[in-house]
């Protein structure tokens, strides 16, 4: 296992980060089995674990807390806040009111006194970024978190947050967690260069492109989808024209993997960690078998010839699918951001 420094924090993390999204009701409800998977990952050299308060409505954090009970000092622990998972007003977003409550709940579920990396799960344009940075800086001063970052923030929001922090004397986002894969390379245009210029660590998610790079989705073959992937069958329906490019790309990428004697998932994981802006890639296994398959990619290095061939199949900066299905910018979702009032046209 290789290790890299997480942004400017001085914290060393493994290039593979164990994602805990599939631990709990959404994926694997067997707590004991999930704990065994986490321990196996730690035994293989992974020292970085990422979860979120909304994964299985807090159950994932509870499972991670059980697993780290006697190993907390050896693990860099990351979690996130933003999405609602209980009913009621003011129980989501990036406000001081909610973050102050949510961090205490996460600490309790995780069974720890501190969180190494506390991340804002998505932007919240109803809350001034100054308000968010202010409360996060206070949490660092209080010793409840060691550093903070953001997740799936576009480049313009990252830059705004950086300048607000600099102007107001607050701590700044040390990391960003965007989706990134061989089939979703859009962040190579501005997000990754921005993070690199600002010295931010980058921990990417969805390296298997929501299952397309798992090796189980092939043209003219029966779908071998996970239970989670099966919840969105249109995403994989080969009869839909929008999916044609995805299937074509998969077949060409399989040839690349075969040509260097590896598997498609291993190729996918190695590709992500090759980018100079990327610190660690998050992999979210549901079973021990899936973990073992992912761990083997940690030692794989891709040569320039292989990377050039991947660039030919899916050019740099190109998205074959929309990588972030959980969030759209307000500029697209709010019609008033796209159309002048009728009287002003």
R_g of the chain, CA atoms, integer Å? 20
Q: Return the ∠ at Cα 49 (arms to 81 and 53), rounded to 5°.
A: 25
Set 3, 55, 180, 205: catalytic member: 55
Alpha-carbon separation of residue 232 from 92, 228, 236, 300 (angstroms): 25, 8, 8, 31
CA distance 201 to 158: 12
Strands (E) across the chain are located at: 3-5, 12-14, 16-19, 48-50, 76-81, 115-120, 145-151, 175-177, 201-204, 280-283
Dihedrals phi, psi of 170, to nearest 5 degrees: -90, 165
Q: Are 249 and 264 in contact (CB under 8 A)?
A: no
In three-state secondary structure terms, 129 is helix
Which token pair is 55?
A: 């994964």
First and final CA of the chain: distance in angstroms?
59
Is there a catalytic annotation at residue 55?
yes
- Asked if residue 50 lies in contact with residue 19, where contact means CB atoms within 8 angstroms, the answer is yes
Cα separation, 133 vs 152, in Å, equals 16
Q: Which of 165, 158, 125, 185 is nearest to 329 (CA)?
A: 125
In terms of DSSP bridges, do strands 12-14 and 3-5 run parallel, antiparallel, or are they unpaired? antiparallel
What is the phi-psi region of residue 195: left when phi exceeds 0, alpha when psi lies from -120 to 50, beta otherwise? alpha
Would you please indicate which residues are annotated as catalytic (active-site) residues? 55
């Amino acid at each position: 296992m290789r290790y890299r420094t997480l942004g400017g924090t001085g914290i060393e993390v493994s290039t593979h980060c164990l994602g805990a999204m599939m631990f709990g009701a959404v994926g694997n409800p067997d707590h004991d089995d999930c704990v065994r998977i986490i321990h196996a990952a730690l035994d293989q050299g992974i020292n970085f674990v990422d979860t979120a308060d909304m994964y299985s409505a807090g159950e994932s954090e509870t499972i991670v807390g059980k697993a780290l009970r006697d190993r907390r000092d050896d693990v860099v622990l990351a979690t996130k806040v933003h999405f609602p998972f209980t009913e009621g007003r003011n129980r989501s977003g990036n406000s001081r009111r909610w973050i102050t409550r949510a961090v205490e709940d996460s600490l309790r579920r995780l069974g720890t006194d501190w969180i190494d990396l506390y991340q804002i799960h998505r932007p919240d344009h109803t809350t001034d970024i100054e308000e968010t940075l202010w409360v996060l800086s206070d949490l660092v001063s209080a010793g409840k978190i060691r550093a903070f970052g953001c997740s799936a923030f576009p480049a313009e929001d990252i830059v705004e947050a950086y300048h607000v922090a600099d102007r107001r004397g607050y701590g700044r986002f040390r990391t960003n967690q965007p989706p990134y894969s061989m089939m979703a390379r859009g962040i190579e245009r501005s997000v990754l260069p921005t993070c690199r210029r600002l010295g931010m660590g980058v921990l990417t998610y969805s390296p298997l492109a929501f299952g397309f790079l798992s090796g189980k989705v092939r043209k003219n073959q029966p779908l071998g989808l996970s239970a989670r992937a099966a919840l969105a069958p249109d995403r994989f329906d080969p009869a839909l024209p929008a999916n044609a490019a995805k299937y074509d790309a998969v077949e060409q990428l399989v040839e690349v993997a075969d040509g260097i004697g590896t598997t498609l998932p291993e190729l996918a994981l190695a590709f992500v960690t090759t980018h100079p802006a990327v610190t660690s890639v998050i992999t979210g296994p549901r079973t021990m078998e899936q973990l073992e398959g992912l761990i083997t990619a940690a030692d794989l290095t891709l040569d320039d010839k292989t990377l050039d061939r991947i660039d030919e199949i899916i050019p740099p900066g190109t998205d074959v699918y929309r990588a972030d299905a959980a969030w759209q910018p307000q500029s697209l979702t709010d019609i008033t951001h796209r159309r002048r009032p009728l009287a002003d046209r």
